[in-house]
Amino acid sequence: MKHIDDIAENIEEYVSIISILEMVCKSYKIALNASPLINFRDAMSHYILLYEADSDEKKIAEESSIEEHLFRGAKDAIVLILSEMKHRASKALDKLALDSWQKQCDIRKILHKYKDLELEIRGNTESAFTRDLRSFLVKLDALINETQKTFALYGLPFPVLR
């Protein structure tokens, strides 16, 4: 069982991660769904119940619920971004001429990297929010940057607000 201050730190970390994901979505014109906010609301409800809990059993149950909601909200936002980026790579692949084999290979490689990241995040069944989501965000950021550079190299549109 964690100390309530540690759980509060997880909630703060969640807010930080979700704000990064929201900026990614805004920057790349991806419509973020309500899951991160709904899961945050639900985690806060469980946090109040944890604070008021009068037995270890109740505390453990509330702690587990908090961690599940925090992980679920972040995971949903990440999967949404990955799905959108896969969609963009697929659309770019569809638009390439059949004679542009190297371009197609490079876009396919990127598409498979998004699929691998999606499998990694979806395959993690841990509900513990303490899983290192920040390192996953670093991988996601690197892949988005690689995508942007590859699209630019081949003159493919990649909408951003910058």
**Domain boundaries in the chain?**
4-153
CA dihedral (29, 35, 39, 42) positive or negative: positive
For residue 144, the SS3 value is: helix
Contacts (Cβ under 8 Å, ≥6 apart) of 157: 151
Token pair listed for 3: 């100390």
More confident residue, 131 or 138: 138
Token pair listed for 35: 């899951």
Q: What is the band of 161 on the pLDDT scale with cuts at 50, 70, 90?
A: very low
Q: What is the band of 125 on the pLDDT scale with cuts at 50, 70, 90?
A: low
pLDDT at 152 over 50: yes
Q: What whole-number percentage of the chain has pLDDT above 70?
A: 91
**How far apart (Å, rounded) are the C-alpha atoms in residues 133 and 127?**
12
Q: According to the model, what pLDDT value does residue 162 have?
A: 35
CB 33 within 8 A of CB 74: no
Residue 87 CB coordination number (10 Å): 13
Question: What mean pLDDT do residues 80-87 have?
Answer: 94
Question: What mean pLDDT do residues 33-40 have?
Answer: 96
Q: What is the band of 131 on the pLDDT scale with cuts at 50, 70, 90?
A: low
